[in-house]
Every structure is written in structure tokens, then in C-alpha cells.
Amino acid sequence: MIPLQQVWPDDLAALYRAKGYWRGETFSQLLRNRVEAQADAVAVVGMDQRWTYGELLAKAETAAAGFLALGLKPGDRVVVQLPNLPEFLSVIFGLFRAKLIPVYALPAHRSTEIVHFLRRAEASAYVVADRHEGFDYRALARAVQAEVPELRHVVVVGEAEEFASFDAFRADPASLPTEDADPSDVAFLQISGGSTGLSKLIPRTHDDYLYSVRESAVISKLSSSSVYLTALPAAHNFPMSSPGYLGALYVGATVVMSPSPSPDACFPLIEREGVTITGLVPPLALLWMQAAPRKTHDISSLEVLLVGGAKFLPEAARRVRPELGCTLQQVFGMAEGLVNYTRLDDPETLIVETQGRPISPDDEILIVDDAGAPVAEGEPGNLLTRGPYTIRAYHNEPAANARSFTDDGFYRTGDVVQRTPEGYLVVMGRATDHINRAGEKISAEEVEDHLLAHPAVFDAAVVSVPDDYLGERICAFVIPNGTAPRGVELKAWMRKRDIADFKVPDQIVFVEDFAVTAVGKVSRRELRAALRQRILEEE
Ligand code: J2J
């Protein structure tokens, strides 16, 4: 197995420790500390479950012992694909306790993506729920297991059928090793948005991630009386850590898991549980504002709404306070590290018009032109960053690492930003060819590769198009090979390729050629830019 690591230069690691950013804490310790302080406080609430901190720890320990009893060994990687159930937390804290490494997949992922994650992570186990939103994950597990024989264990939360049943884990936690993980070790693998090709794996350490979680909790003013609603899929970095359910657990607050982010699912939970804070992507924030006037539930307990994952336009941002009655906190973050927040007591103009400023005084921000030279203060440029919780490398991706990081360790975010005189960042656009569809990042190249596999497709170029609701939608330009198939057929065919549904193009435009007349060879990027321009002009 290729070892997991995340290495900072010695001098910076020493600085981050000396400044108290890296405190030598682990995820297991986080939960133990909370239990020592407040075992009987409510930690997690589901549709019909309610667990105290003491119960969450007990369940995590049973889970840890159960995973090890299957034959898994510390350091083994486990792909976790669960909806927002309380068990999401007992599974991951169980894995942390057993020093197993979760790899976070989204419920929307299908066999193409899961097989990729399993192989890249060299995972030996896969945890799924039985069913969610009408989809049977056991069938997916069967398909995946047929393709990846190295996958030795499938564990199911719910009706397990022929697989190992999580609910029936009975091993004695007394058998668990007492030694905790090394805080500088990789704790889990997060999934990148994937600007080129397939998603990459992001190794995050206990030390670096817990720093961002702890500070985020401070910045969002979480306390033990806060109630955090997990509305977005729990595997996403945003609801996990900005400040997310981990930030909430860190300070002893209550976490409510909603199976769906829709107002219909969330508003009743907000009323029932007195939710004080949650996080949404912009299209959902719009949906919530639309639903608010005719709401049948009292959502007045909500104090803070975080919005991020994609640009929240000022016109929409301005409506949050009057229409939802809470403070907006914009968040511009990335699973690779850097997270920016507007502060709760910032002037309304900063809250509405910017995407915030970094968590840490030691987050280094460079804004450079395409040649790598710093732009004049206040001008837009490419955002590069490094710091105490930003990765230095993806897992086992030499080519991508060479592209994505500078020689002195700055991560090239791919985002184009501008800095205000107050030091706040405004996201202006991006330099990479991915589509940010309602906060899900989709690689144009990956979608093109799928389209090119169709016998009637001669060539395909995939671009993002502005969309009132989604922020951006996926538009595919396709040159047919002979008779063009119908758009709906091509979409249906894409769905059958077992990929996440959010990657299927929203719009397909058949063209005879790409009509790019520039002399010489045109790069894919230039081609996509020209086609995007064409569709913008037509609209
Ligand atoms: C514009 N673009 C944004 C914003 C992210 C908190 C919040 C979000 C993420 C996330 C996260 C944006 N305005 N407010 O991990 O902890 C785009 C940028 C960025 C990319 C990262 C968190 N907030 N983005 O979205 O890894 O392009 O993380 O580089 O999914 O989303 O995507 P992701």
C-alpha cells in the first residue's frame, strides 16, 4: 500500500506548533474530551434518534471493535458512502478510533466513481446504507465488488442482506488497542472537485484539520448551546468543517442530521430542534428564501446561515437577513485547505459583497498573473495559498501535484480573486475548466471522456453556462459521428454509465464542427472558451 502522508517543511511545522495551531489532538480525543465534560448532553439527532455524547462514544467504540473484528488493520482505508444519518458519525468516529482511514464519497456517486476511489485509496472496505432516496446501495456494492476484488468487506447500515451488518457489530470494545493515532498522521481522505479528469484524494492530518475546525467554531461563534443542522451531504468538506458538525461537536453543541437539504425537510427540523446555525450552497439558500414566506414552521431560532461552495451574488446575499431573519456568513473554502469567512459582526457591505478573509493569520495569500507575478493590490488574479491547514500534495498524483503546487509549496486554487482594502477576498471567476454546478465541481474533461465513449459521438467539448438557479449548468457541444442521436437519448445513455447524476449534461448542443478558425492548434481550453462565448452570445 502506498503510504499516506502530508508533509510540511520542518520550520513551518515547528512554527504552526509553536503558535498553537497544531495541538497534538486527534479526532478520537475530541470525542473523549467531550464525554468527560458532558456525557449526558445531546450530541446527535436524526429523524428518530437522539444520542448523548456518551452514547455516541459508546457506539463509535462498538463500531471500531466491529471493524477490527472483520480483520481490518490500522491504516487500512475505508470508503464511506452514507446519507445524513446519525450513523455517519458513529461510523467515522469508529474508524478514527480503530485508526482506519475514511475516504468520503457522496451519496450521488455511482460505481464509476466508487471504483476509482477504492483503487486510488487501495481501500479494503466500503460502508454504505441499505437504501436512500429510492436507490439501493447494496446493488451498487455488488457491482463494485465484482470489479474490485481487493475490496474485502462491505458493511451496510440498515438491512445488510449478504453483507456485514453495521447494526449487528457486537465485538467488545474492551479489545480495542489503547494507543491513539499520531496527530501528525493522515486522518482521512477527502475528495477533490477534480478540475482535470477524475477526482483526486486529499490527505488531511488530525493536527491540520482540527485547527481549521476549532478556529471555524470560534469564527462562527459556536457554543455548547448551538444546534447545527447538517443539511448538505455530510461527506462534503463544507458541512464537515466550516464550522460544520465537527465544529459543533468540538464545542459540545448538538448536531441535527437532515436526510435532505430541502425546506420541506429542514424547516420542521429547525422548529423541532431549535436549530441555530446551518450551511447551504447558493441555489439552496435561494430556495429557502423562496419558501420562507409560506413556511408553516417557525424557523426563528436560526441565527446564522453560512453560504458557500459557489459564488453567492450580492443581490441574493442582501436578502438573507430580511427574508430568513438571520445573519449571513459567506464562506469560500476548499477541501484542499484554505477557508475564508466573513465575520458575524462585519459591516453588512463586507458580508454581502465579499467571500470573507482567511481563518489563520498564517494563511499565506498570493494573487498573481498568469506568469506568476503578483498583481497590483486590488486587481484580480490567480489565488495561490499555503498555510497551517492547506495540503502540500494530493495522494499519489505526481503529475497533478506538479501542476497544482508551486515549487515553494503554494497550492494553485484555480480561483481568480480580488482583495479588498480590508483584506477580504472577492471571487471573480476561475482559471480552470470545471463546472461549479450548485456547488458540485465537475471536470469538463471527465464529462467529455464519457461522451466520447458513445459510438455516435465524434467529438465533444463541455463548458459551463451561467444559470439563474444552479449558478452554472453543464453544456456539452457534440459533433456527431453520422446521424446525431437525440439529446435525451445521449443523456439517458450517460446515466447508464454509472456516474453521479450531477455530471450528466443539462444541455446538449449538436454542431457540425467547432468552427474554431484560429490558425494552428487550438487547445481544449481555448476551444471551450470559444464555445462558451458562442452560447453566451446566442442567449
Ligand atoms: C465562490 N466560489 C467558491 C464561494 C467555494 C467551505 C465552503 C466551501 C467549500 C467547497 C469548502 C466559494 N464563492 N463562496 O470546502 O470548507 C469554489 C472555489 C473553490 C472550490 C472548492 C468549505 N466557495 N468555491 O466548496 O473543495 O472554486 O469546497 O476552489 O468542494 O469551490 O470546492 P470544494
For 359-409, how does the pLDDT look when each residue is reduced to its tens digit (9 = 90+)? 999 999 999 999 999 999 999 999 999 999 999 999 999 999 999 999 999
How is residue 499 annotated by DSSP? -
Q: Which helix (H) or strand (E) holds 393?
A: none
Q: Is 460 found in the same domain as 396?
A: no
Q: Is 444 found in the same domain as 425?
A: no
CA of 308 to the centre of ligand 1 (A): 6
Question: Which set of grid coordinates corresponds to residue 496?
Answer: 447508464
Residue matched to cell numbers 445521449: 490
Q: Is 385 found in the same domain as 440?
A: no
CA of 405 to the centre of ligand 1 (A): 18
Boundary of a domain, candidates 432, 460, 490: 432
Boundary of a domain, candidates 384, 402, 432: 432
**Residue 521 pLDDT grade (very low, low, confident, very high; cuts 50, 70, 90):** low
Say which CATH number the domain at 477 has: 3.30.300.30
Say which CATH number the domain at 80 has: 3.40.50.980
Q: Is 281 found in the same domain as 166?
A: no
Atom 28, ligand 1: which residue's CA is nearest? 334
Say which CATH number the domain at 218 has: 3.40.50.12780
Mean pLDDT of 125-130: 98
Q: What tens digit of pLDDT does each residue of 19-55 get?
A: 999 999 999 999 999 999 999 999 999 999 999 999 9
CA of 332 to the centre of ligand 1 (A): 5
pLDDT for residue 520 is more than 70: no
Residue 21 covered by a domain: no
Q: Which phi and psi (to 5°) does residue 92 adopt?
A: -70, -40
Q: What tens digit of pLDDT does each residue of 80-121 get?
A: 999 999 999 999 999 999 999 999 999 999 999 999 999 999
Closest atom of ligand 1 relative to the 241 alpha carbon: 16
**Residue 284 pLDDT grade (very low, low, confident, very high; cuts 50, 70, 90):** very high
- Quote the CA–CA distance of 483 and 145 in Å, as a whole number: 37
Peptide bond into 243 cis (omega under 30): yes
Residue 111: predicted pLDDT: 96
Range of the structural domain that residue 70 is part of: 27-180
- Quote the CA–CA distance of 331 and 351 in Å, as a whole number: 10
CA of 51 to the centre of ligand 1 (A): 31
> Which among 226, 287, 281 is positioned nearest to 251, based on CA atoms?
226
Angle 102-157-191 from CA coordinates, rounded to 5° = 30
Boundary of a domain, candidates 388, 413, 432: 432
Closest atom of ligand 1 relative to the 330 alpha carbon: 14
pLDDT for residue 517 is more than 70: no
* Alpha carbon separation from 289 to 105, 220, 281 (Å, rounded): 29, 21, 13
CA of 193 to the centre of ligand 1 (A): 9
Among 220, 334, 350, 354, residue to substitute to test ligand 1 (most atoms within 8 Å of Cβ): 334
Question: Which set of grid coordinates corresponds to residue 28?
Answer: 478520537
User: What percentage of the chain has pLDDT greater than the value 90?
Assistant: 91
Residue matched to cell numbers 486529499: 202
Mean pLDDT of 180-202: 91
Tell me how far the alpha carbon of residue 379 is from its chain's centroid: 29
User: Which residues form ligand 1's pocket by a CB distance below 6 Å?
Assistant: 193, 237-238, 241-242, 308-311, 330-335, 339, 355, 413, 415, 427, 430, 436, 439, 441
Q: Is 404 found in the same domain as 478?
A: no
How many residues does the structure list for the chain?
539
Residue 6 covered by a domain: no
Q: Is 382 found in the same domain as 438?
A: no
Q: Is 509 found in the same domain as 405?
A: no
CA of 281 to the centre of ligand 1 (A): 9
Q: Is 376 found in the same domain as 446?
A: no
20 contact partners, CB below 8 Å, separation of at least 6: none
CA of 441 to the centre of ligand 1 (A): 9
Residue 13 covered by a domain: no
Among 212, 284, 306, 332, residue to substitute to test ligand 1 (most atoms within 8 Å of Cβ): 332
Q: What tens digit of pLDDT does each residue of 207-263 get?
A: 999 999 999 999 999 999 999 999 999 999 999 999 999 999 999 999 999 999 999
Mean per-residue pLDDT over the chain, rounded: 95
Residue 5 covered by a domain: no
**Residue 445 pLDDT grade (very low, low, confident, very high; cuts 50, 70, 90):** very high
Count up the domains in the chain and report the number.
3
